[in-house]
Structure 1
């Protein structure tokens, strides 16, 4: 599995923490930031190029935020067009999955603590996270976010699913995240190694 993230630390630290906590081998899961930049389209292109270097992956995930990125919608379209268009070294068509968050990755973290039912600016997400009823110790780039919140994943997953029932990633304004999908995939793989 190849996971290419927008952030060099926040998202990478989160997914690496899952990998380490669940003792998933690095041979099976590569988590990295995009070397091309942080725009969603650059992330998708980097993941395509990184995949093509070795073709050793069975699945590719691209993790990016809506924020104010101008290439957000193009990245969703390109990821969709790339899904099952690439073949790995075994000749198998590879799922290529966008994991968008609107407005940002931190929405996923906030969903561990409360519902978000209306459009929300990223600055408000951070402010809400730091409230005493949520995660007052939250800091961007922290390596403990997964460990600190993993017991609340079922509630966050239910909230993320409810958002998907009401909104879609393509709108780009309403709160939305697919981080639960990727988190679930990693936890499912972890179950195979236990």
Structure 2
């Protein structure tokens, strides 16, 4: 065989392969709030380019919201991890503990399901983005008024994030508000949102 034919033979069957990113496992973020929270998490998705995260909303009490998450999974959701984001607001500690227990049972038999509680509500986490120093222990109405007065929350009901809300400052915000673990109510004010975002954000 000539050297020319030998080179041709060695080249047969070779194909150029295109580089591709491994597909990430799907994650569900199910929000109790129907406006502010979905807007925030969708912007977080856009900030980091996280198409594998699905943000959904459903205005239900914590226990029923956990049931909804379980139903979505059983109906072919195929999520590797589910986060259920809720506020304490006027929910009793017993009801929140029941929702947390549901999450633990589901995690024991399937993919992780975590209850992400903000005490008193999600607005305290938002406020941590726009202040210097620690989030004060003031009422949720006072927090919402401060966010609205400074135009961080807009819209008819004061529930929409302003176009320039600094979602990218979430790491700094995490140092300005007390934190607690998943499935815990925590003190007022405190939140488990920063821990969730640390897990969702891509590694540096």
* TM-score where L is the length of structure 1: 0.75
Q: Is 1:16 matched with 2:42? A: yes
State whether residues 13 and 141 of structure 1, in contact with CA within 8 Å, keep that contact through their aligned partners in structure 2.
Answer: no
Give the one of 171, 175, 180 matched to 2:194: 180
Q: Is 1:68 matched with 2:90? A: yes
Give the one of 128, 147, 151 matched to 1:111: 128
Which runs of 5 or more residues in structure 2 are unaligned? Answer: 1-26
SS in 2 for 1:148: coil
Cα offsets for 1:143-186 (capped at 9, x unmatched): 546x52134322211123xx137xx9335x52111111222233
Q: CA deviation at 1:112?
A: 1.6
State whether residues 79 and 98 of structure 1, in contact with CA within 8 Å, keep that contact through their aligned partners in structure 2.
Answer: yes
Which runs of 5 or more residues in structure 1 are unaligned? Answer: 87-93
Equivalent residue number for residue 53 of structure 1: 75
Q: Which structure 1 residue ranges, 4+ long, deviate > 4 Å from structure 2?
A: none
Equivalent residue number for residue 112 of structure 2: 95
Give the one of 132, 142, 152 matched to 1:137: 152
SS in 1 for 2:29: strand
CA distance in 2, matches of 1:96, 1:68: 23
Equivalent residue number for residue 42 of structure 1: 64
Give the one of 63, 82, 106 matched to 1:82: 106
Question: RCO (CA 8 Å, sep 6+): is it higher in 1 or 2?
Answer: 1
Cα offsets for 1:99-143 (capped at 9, x unmatched): 11001111101112341253x322122123345xxx433234425
Give the one of 176, 190, 201 matched to 1:159: 176
Equivalent residue number for residue 89 of structure 1: none
Asked which structure has the greater CA Rg, the reply is: 2
Equivalent residue number for residue 142 of structure 2: 124
CA distance in 2, matches of 1:137, 1:175: 19
State whether residues 39 and 161 of structure 2, in contact with CA within 8 Å, keep that contact through their aligned partners in structure 1.
Answer: yes
Equivalent residue number for residue 54 of structure 2: 30
Equivalent residue number for residue 17 of structure 2: none
